[in-house]
Amino acid sequence: MKKKTNYTYIGGQAVIQGVMMRGKRGMATVVRNDKGELCMEAKRITPPEERKKWTRVVFLRGVVNFFVSFVDGMQALLRSSEVAITDEEEAPPKINKWVAEKWKVSASSILTFFSMLIGVCIALGLFLFLPMYFTGLIASVSNGAIADVRGLPGLYYNLIEGGFRFVIFIGYILFTLLFKSLRETYRYHGAEHKTINCYETGMPLTVENVRKCSRMHDRCGTTFIFFVLIVSILLFAFVSWAIGGIDTGSGALDFFLNFLIKLALLPVIAGVSYEILKLLARTQSPLVLPLKAPGYLLQKLTTKEPDDGMIECAVLAFEKVLDMDADPDSPEKIFITETKLSRLKEMMTEVFEKHGIDSSDAEWILSLTLNIPRSGLSEERIVTRAECEKIVALFEERLTGRPLWYIIGNTEFYGYPIEVDERVLIPRPETEILVQQAVSAVQEGNTVLDLCTGSGAIAVAIACEAAKDKNISVVAADISDGALEVARNNVRRNKANVVVVKSDLFENIQGKFNIITANPPYIRSAEIGTLQREVRDFEPRVALDGGEDGLDFYRRIAAGVGEHIARGGMLILECGEDQAQDILKIFSSCDYAMVVKDLAGKERIVKIVF
């Protein structure tokens, strides 16, 4: 092996048609699907230093890591099977369709669950039950030579049992080599080792460099199993000697109790074996080579030379984990595959909540993509791979922080579809109160001016609502060319009677109006950096920043409104939750003013009559 200069804590395992890598803060699984495409699933995990202190105690940490790795590994294995083992057709097989409709679960989910259950039972049968059974047969004909659990006979007994366990293990590996799919898994295992070795030797992670590296690695699970076999022999012998054997008078009951004791000792064996593996992995000294050699020899069986595509899988998974460990904003990913709606919703909601994203966004993505109301998401159904692909694309883009309605490209405001993108603010629900106040005040033949119109949502809603029983005219004004383009699109889309003009507040406005509305920028400049990421980084600052105290635009409106408001006219303004009283002072010369609260009880709308 080449000398290692860049040790890493990242480990991994082969999965079906792919590789899973696991770091301190993230794990990533990359699988090649039946179309030859690379699919990735990545999720964040709790780093060891943030877990409870007892989980980091020597020996206990081995038990914890063994359990966590086992659970994560099984989940990755099962998830990979959902991606790699598929038969996607235009029309699903009748049995799949029947299972989906009858049981609200995919046939592949049922298959993988029972595969896991059967796999655990087979493992216990092969590596615990059979060695005990065969050793018991030998003990029964040994005339007591190895039946006594005390002293050397007890050691011999456990050596023979361990020998059977080792032979069964080797036989199991050789048997799996008969199957092409499992030989491929061993090749992915080789790709995983080679990738980690390439990184630890300090070489760039390219397919060419990885190909040159060794398939042997000190922290391999195969080596861990070897240590488990050795430690189990010694520990089982010691425990048998310590308790003095079990003799209930029933051979079957004695066997069963011994089986339970050894089953209970497995976590202890795992903890001790983990510490040995961890200790030996820290050094490349030739002095410890005899201890590592048996593991290397076993790895000759459980790893095979990968092809470039397999290496590509391993490198992609490794690099994603490196990125997730280094960057807390590195996005999580979900496999694109057939799955249950409830499972997909649960995964999306969990990830969104961890990232501080409103969990309702998960419901909106599912509702809009699947064309079902949010209230209907509680009814189970199977999400096809094609549907899942669209959902995951939206999900991953949302994880970048980009607001959902920018991703979708439109939203609903006051019952009307409104196009939105980064050139305009996304209309908020509380702004509908402003529209409600304007619609209730407007009369036949009135003229309405909407300043700082942005997407034109307010102007469109007022015009369309009033048009149901009145004839009015509406002008929408904004200084931004981009916003004006979006506003014109929304006017056309909703067939609203609105004229859109470019104007910096009243600068290019002609005439007087019965009602003037505005939702101007009112965020204090110093508070912009504290806003939610999706607002701060994506919505236009020009539509947010209201100056040092957030009231700059209200002062400018107050200075110009007198020339453009008709006698008895009304000015309706939206404001921040703590700004209404200060705005009333700015308009102290008006005839009448009042404040309207939003549904949360916050002072949100200021109405001023001239």
Binding site, by residue number, is 478, 519-522
Give, in order, the Cα–Cα distances in Å from 393 to each of 74, 81, 137, 355, 456. Answer: 26, 21, 60, 17, 29
Q: CB of 438 within 8 A of CB of 448?
A: yes
Query: Closest Cα partner for 426 from 556, 532, 570?
Result: 532
For 311, left (φ over 0), alpha (ψ -120 to 50), or beta? alpha
CA 250, 253, 257, 259: dihedral to nearest 10 degrees? 110
> How far is 587 from 569, CA to CA, in rounded Å?
14
- Which residues lie below 8 Å from residue 253, measured CB to CB, with a gap of 6+? none
Residue 502 φ then ψ, to 5°: -90, 125
Q: Which residues are annotated as a binding site for substrate?
A: 519-522
User: End-to-end distance of the chain based on CA atoms, in angstroms?
Assistant: 86
List all residues 6 or more positions away from 377 whose beta carbon is below 8 Å from its beta carbon. 341, 345, 363, 366, 367
Instruction: Please name the residue that has the structure tokens 């979900």.
Output: 334
Residue 154 token pair: 């007890």
DSSP string, 1-23: -PPP-S----EEEEETTEEEEE-
8 A C-beta contact, residue 41 and residue 79: yes
Q: Which H/E stretch holds residue 487?
A: helix 481-494
Cβ 365 vs Cβ 398: under 8 Å: yes
Bridge partners of residue 499, in order along the sequence: 475
H-state helical runs in 401-480: 404-408, 431-441, 457-466
Contact (Cβ atoms closer than 8 angstroms) between residue 490 and residue 460: yes
Rg (CA), the chain: 34
Q: Quick check: 211 and 311 in contact, CB under 8 A?
A: yes
Binding region for S-adenosyl-L-methionine:
478, 519
Give the list of residues 6+ apart from residue 344 with CB closer than 8 angstroms, or none.
334, 366, 383, 388, 391
Integer Cα distance of 549 and 256 in angstroms: 77
